[in-house]
Amino acid sequence: MKGREGVRKKQGLGARLAAVAAFVHTGARLADIGTDHAGLPLELLAAGKISCAVAADVHAGPFEAANRAVQSRKAKNIEVRRGDGLTVLAPGEVDAVAVAGMGGALICRILAEGVAVLTEVKSLVLQPQNDAAELRAWLYDHGWHIADEALALEDGRIYEILLAEPGEEKKPDALLLEIGPVLWRKKPPLLRRHIERLLSRERRIANGMGKSESAKKSAGYEAVRKKIAALEEKLIW
C-alpha cells in the first residue's frame, strides 16, 4: 500500500500511534478525531508526511491540551476544533481520517453520522479498543474494505489498527472479521498472541455459561464452543 514510510516511536509516538501514523498516506489532509493532545498530527506534520490537519475532540480538557500543544509547536497547518466526531468537518476538507483509542461501536457511530464528510475521503485509519469485528463488518456493509491491518504491542496490550479504503469487496466470514482478514493473510509476528487473546475471551464466556445448566443447553453456548474450536484451528499454520 502507498505511503507506508512510518513515524517511528523515537519521534514521540508509542507503538500504537506509530502504527496508526504508518497507515496515513503521504501528503494527506488529515482529520484526527479524538485527538487528545494532538500528538498524532503534530508528529506527522513534523515528519513531513501530511500537508495539514484538523485535530478534533469533543471534550474540553483534551481540546484545550491540543490547543496548547499546537501553539507551543507553532504548527500553523494544524487547526484544533471542538466537536463530536466528524461534525467538525465540511465535505472535501480532508482526505484521510484517523480515529484511535475509541470503542469499535463508537467508531461505527461516528462514521455513520459523518457519511457526507466521508464521500471524498480516501482512507480511514482506525484503532478500535474493542469490538473490532463489529467495526470491520460495518465498513464492508457501507462501501469500504480493509486494505491493510497491523498489530501493535504497547504496555503489554495488543492493539489492532485498520486501514480502510472506499470500494466494495466481498465481506469476509465472521471468524475472519474477528481475527482480521488482512492480519490472517499477512500473519505478522503478533498474530498468534492476538488469536490467543480472542480465544481467552471466548473461553471465559464459555466457562461462565457452563455454570448454568440452562445456558449450557442454549444455542448461544453451542455457538461459543464452535467459535473456540474454529479459533483453535487458526493457531495451526
Q: How do residues 53-110 score in pLDDT, each as one tens digit?
A: 999 999 999 999 999 999 999 999 999 999 999 999 999 999 999 999 999 999 999 9
- In this predicted structure, the answer to whether residue 202 has a pLDDT above a threshold of 70 is yes
Mean pLDDT confidence for 159-184: 98
pLDDT of residue 5: 37
Mean pLDDT confidence for 171-184: 98
Picking from 144, 136, 143, 142, the residue whose alpha carbon sits closest to that of residue 161 is 136
* Number of alpha helices (DSSP H) and beta strands (DSSP E) in the chain: 11, 7
Mean pLDDT confidence for 105-133: 97
- pTM reported for the whole predicted model: 0.92
Q: Is the dihedral of CA 73, 76, 77, 82 positive or negative?
A: positive
